[in-house]
Amino acid sequence: MTDPVFEVDRLSDSPHVSTGSLPRRVQVADALDRTLEAVRTVRRGELSDVYPALQRVDPDLVGLAIVAANGESISVGDDAVEFTLMSVAKPFVLALVAEAIGSEVVRNAVGVNATGLAFNSIEAVERRGGSTNPMVNPGAIATTALAPGRSVEDRWAFVLGGLSRLAGRPLALDDEVLESARATNHRNRALASLLHSQGVILGDPMDAVEVYTRQSCVALDVRDMAVMGATIANGGVNPATAERVIGAAVCHDVMAVMATAGLYETSGDWLWDVGLPGKSGISGAVVALSPGKGALGAYAPPLDDAGNSVRGQLAARLLARELGLDVFATRPG
């Protein structure tokens, strides 16, 4: 809950923001090429077994992309291979919902503090009376339940339309993965029912699960994902289309929550190693945002024990250091 003592005017953007730019295009391209070669040799991690369809992907795929705030885009490797957003949808749906109904409404209804537990933990819901975080499954389902609309289809149109605007092109569902997810998402249904029993979800909890499952199964490539990340890092203006999709204050809130729990219980290690707001998904996707500069997208399916792409994390660590993306990095004046 917010404290009135600390209320500030967030309706107008601050004139003082963290700015900067990426290095020259040739340097970014060279760094991407070298990073791709370095991470391709890594053979750690396992494919997700959460949904059967995710077991059928090629474990050797690696795609990397960087999109700058000025719209410049560079990608390497398997950059045209489509995959599903899975949990990488969470910060973007949070942005859309917060923009529609207000960040504080979402904050007070869902919570924003890290749970310190696995992404699908029931204990996280029980321990804190339903207050979790929009970057873990229960909090994300609760966030999706707040999407405007009278029906599942209304809310789905809102979510898919918003994700498409963030990507700068029409996006669509991967029907195979969606069918697989619907058949096996028992844990998410249990989480939604528990949230409903605690008054966090007020409508039909299965409607919320349906929209949540669909948003997770939206297909795109690593370049699209980097555009979406760059839109949030660019204060809500899509660098590819120049359309303002999200307000700058909401973008701040989304990146703050990504920093708290974007890589689940290993988010502290991620911030230590990479120094950026980030989000992972069990498809093998990772997006990392450098405020004012742009975003990195990585796709490499094998995951660590926390459900985060092994090679995606390594690529982000190498590129954050190489390209000066780390928001915590300083040097003497």
Q: Please give the domain boundaries of the chain with CATH numbers for all domains.
A: 20-323 (3.40.710.10)
Rounded Cα distance between 307 and 137, Å, is 13
270, 307 in Cβ contact below 8 A?
A: no
Nearest-angstrom CA–CA distance, 135 and 322 = 27
User: Which SS3 state, helix, strand or coil, does residue 280 take?
Assistant: strand
Query: Would the pLDDT of 6 be above 50?
Result: no
With a cut of 90, say whether residue 330 has pLDDT above it.
Answer: no
- At residue 115 the predicted structure's pLDDT band, cuts being 50, 70 and 90, is confident
pLDDT of residue 119: 75
State phi, psi for 26 to the nearest 5 degrees. -65, -35
pLDDT-derived band of residue 333, with 50, 70 and 90 as boundaries? low
Average pLDDT, whole number, for the chain? Answer: 91
Mean pLDDT of 117-124: 74
**DSSP 8-state code for residue 131:** -
Q: How far apart are CA 181 and CA 198, in angstroms?
A: 25
pLDDT tens for each residue of 167-200: 999 999 999 999 999 999 999 999 999 999 988 8
Residue type, 282: I
The one-letter amino acid at 133: N
Predicted confidence at residue 128, as pLDDT, reads 67
pLDDT at 325: 92
Q: Is the pLDDT of residue 10 over 80?
A: no
In the sheet with 172-173, reading across from the earlier edge strand, the strands are: 83-84, 218-220, 172-173
Encode burial over 242-272: b for 16+ CB neighbours within 10 A, e otherwise.
eeebbbbbbbbbbbebbbbbbbbbbbeebbe
Average pLDDT of the residues in 94-99: 98
Q: Kindly indicate the confidence band of residue 124, based on its pLDDT and cuts at 50, 70 and 90.
A: confident
Say how far apart CA 222 and CA 281 lie, in whole Å. Answer: 13
Q: Is the pLDDT reported for residue 116 higher than 80?
A: no
Residue type, 325: L
> Is 50 exceeded by the pLDDT of residue 99?
yes
Cβ 247 vs Cβ 121: under 8 Å: no
pLDDT tens digits, residue range 33-58?
999 999 999 999 999 999 999 999 99
pLDDT at 4 over 70: no
Place of tokens 């209304």: 154
- pLDDT at position 185: 92
Token match 């070669």: residue? 37
Helix (H) or strand (E) holding 39: helix 25-40
> ∠ CA(246), CA(71), CA(325), 5° rounding?
85
> Does the pLDDT at position 14 exceed 50?
no
Taking 90 as the threshold, does the pLDDT of residue 12 lie above it?
Answer: no
Residue type, 161: G
Contacts of 47 (CB under 8 A, 6+ apart): 54, 55, 57, 59, 301, 302, 303
Q: What percent of the chain has pLDDT over 70?
A: 93
Tokens encoding 25: 């295009």
pLDDT of residue 9: 47
CA 320 to CA 327: how far, in whole Å?
9
